[in-house]
Amino acid sequence: MGSGPSFPIVPMKRDKVILITGANSGLGYEIAKWSAMMGATVILACRSESKTKEAVVKMNQEFQDEKSKRTSQLSENTTLALEFMHLDLVSFESVTNFCEAFKKSGRKLHVLFCNAGLGFIPYQKTADGMEMLLQVNYLSHFVIIAKLLEVMQQSGPDCRILLMSSVAHQWGTFDLKTINYSGPPDRFSSKNYYGRSKLYQIMQAAAMGRRISGSNVTINSIHPGVVDTPFWRDWDSGIRKCLLCCIKCWVAISSFEGAKCSIDLTVNPKHAGVNGLYWVDFKIVTPSSDARNKQKQEELWETTLELVRPYLTEEEMKRINLRN
Ligand SMILES: NC(=O)c1ccc[n+]([C@@H]2O[C@H](COP(=O)([O-])OP(=O)(O)OC[C@H]3O[C@@H](n4cnc5c(N)ncnc54)[C@H](OP(=O)(O)O)[C@@H]3O)[C@@H](O)[C@H]2O)c1
């Protein structure tokens, strides 16, 4: 399975449910495929049904290829248990409908992988009045976690929430007064606001980790490396194109290599109980000083609750805020 550390193949039953946002492409695709190849039911929470259907066909083909290589302990089923559910993180209404549909299905939820994300996009405001990167990368996932936490708490031991963050969290300024950008569009720094959204995820893992510590649910954040995926599409023109070529030639790793640590944290039983930490390349790593500042983590937590309060019930607010 390539060079360097890797994940074990962990046979899972179909009643193990793994939900991955943005699973039709890049890192999410690899995490979904490998989880399903080990036997789990994987919910692909994506905004495009057609793209996701194509991904499902490709995953099944790659499953057959892997079987013909005689990779041991893969699922004995003939097809993978992959299910599309519509989710558009740009809208709290879509997020709410998605969570309602998931709850109605009566399924358990063992792993919630908040992977989907946008990169270096120009300033855009969502219909909910939020800066796009803030809502798609951070707030919508926060709302999903708050809404599905009850299901996870009732899904038996060792349930995991994973947040796909980035080393780019170091580029993000911690300034809660400007958390929802409202300045002139041409002064907007996508680098800074992308970095902020990733910083918030690491801080969320720490702050929420404290609240759910000792329970059956854990939360961790991950940097996958610099990975050659469609994530870089916004750099594919102008002067950034040259930089992108260099990144792809010299630095970037494949989606599979980039997903390995995430797959390990999804399936490896040895990570049961590991909570509130930031992972890079199979190791627990110390994030930036802002990211690990407890007071700032708690300030962000309070500000986030204020921003998402209109989209959560009182019960959901209480549940996510309760300390064990
Ligand atoms: N690639 C890297 O070097 C790198 C480094 C550090 C961290 N990351 C993080 O890794 C995660 C996955 O990125 P990737 O590299 O695998 O890129 P990717 O292939 O572009 O995957 C991003 C996924 O997010 C989905 N998405 C975007 N907006 C959405 C929305 N409004 N609602 C629902 N889904 C939405 C995309 O769906 P569509 O296909 O429909 O657009 C796609 O499935 C991101 O959170 C990113 O910040 C990536």
**DSSP of 1-51, one letter per residue?**
--SS--PPP----TT-EEEEETTTSHHHHHHHHHHHHTT-EEEEEES-HHH
pLDDT at 247: 72
Best mutation site among 42, 85, 231, 234 for ligand 1, i.e. most ligand atoms within 8 A of its Cβ? 231
Instruction: Give 36's Cβ-side CA count (13 Å radius).
Output: 30
Which entry of 194, 200, 278, 311 is annotated as an active-site residue? Answer: 194
d(C-alpha 181, C-alpha 197), whole Å: 12
d(C-alpha 265, C-alpha 160), whole Å: 9
pLDDT at 242: 75
Nearest-Å Rg of the Cα atoms of the chain is 19
**Could you identify the atom of ligand 1 that is nearest to the CA of residue 137?**
45
CA of 315 to the centre of ligand 1 (A): 30
Percent of the chain with pLDDT over 70: 97
Best mutation site among 19, 20, 24, 25 for ligand 1, i.e. most ligand atoms within 8 A of its Cβ? 25
pLDDT at 71: 87
Answer yes or no: 194 catalytic: yes
For residue 136, count other CB atoms closer than 10 A to its CB: 25
As given in the structure block, the two tokens for residue 277 are: 């930490």
| Interacting residues of 176 by C-beta distance below 8 A, sequence separation 6+ | 299, 300, 303
d(C-alpha 119, C-alpha 87), whole Å: 18
Instruction: Ligand 1: list residues with CB < 6 Å.
Output: 21-22, 24-28, 46-48, 51, 87-90, 115-118, 136, 164, 166, 223-224, 226-227, 229-231
Phi-psi domain of 307 (left: phi exceeds 0; alpha: psi -120 through 50; beta: other): alpha
pLDDT at 40: 98
Please give the torsion angle defined by the CA atoms of residues 263, 265, 267 and 268, in that order, rounded to the nearest 10 degrees: 120
pLDDT at 63: 97
As given in the structure block, the two tokens for residue 87 are: 């989710």
Tell me how many degrees the CA angle 284-197-45 measures, rounded to the nearest 5: 85
d(C-alpha 117, C-alpha 21), whole Å: 9
CA distances from 12 to 34, 107, 112 (A): 11, 16, 16
CA of 175 to the centre of ligand 1 (A): 25
Best mutation site among 42, 193, 229 for ligand 1, i.e. most ligand atoms within 8 A of its Cβ? 229
Q: Give the model confidence (pLDDT) of 156-189 as tens digits.
A: 999 999 999 999 999 999 999 999 999 999 999 9
CA of 314 to the centre of ligand 1 (A): 31
Distance, first Cα to last Cα, the chain:
40
Please give the torsion angle defined by the CA atoms of residues 261, 264, 266 and 267, in that order, rounded to the nearest 10 degrees: 170
- Give mean pLDDT in consecutive 10-residue pieces for the chain, a chain of 324 residues: 81 98 98 98 98 98 94 93 98 98 98 97 97 98 98 98 98 98 96 97 98 97 95 72 74 94 98 98 98 98 98 97 79
210 beta partners: none
d(C-alpha 1, C-alpha 42), whole Å: 22
Instruction: Give 70's Cβ-side CA count (13 Å radius).
Output: 0
Domains of the chain: 17-227+256-310 (3.40.50.720)
CA of 117 to the centre of ligand 1 (A): 4
Tell me how many degrees the CA angle 296-204-316 measures, rounded to the nearest 5: 115
Contact 183, 150 (CB under 8 A): no
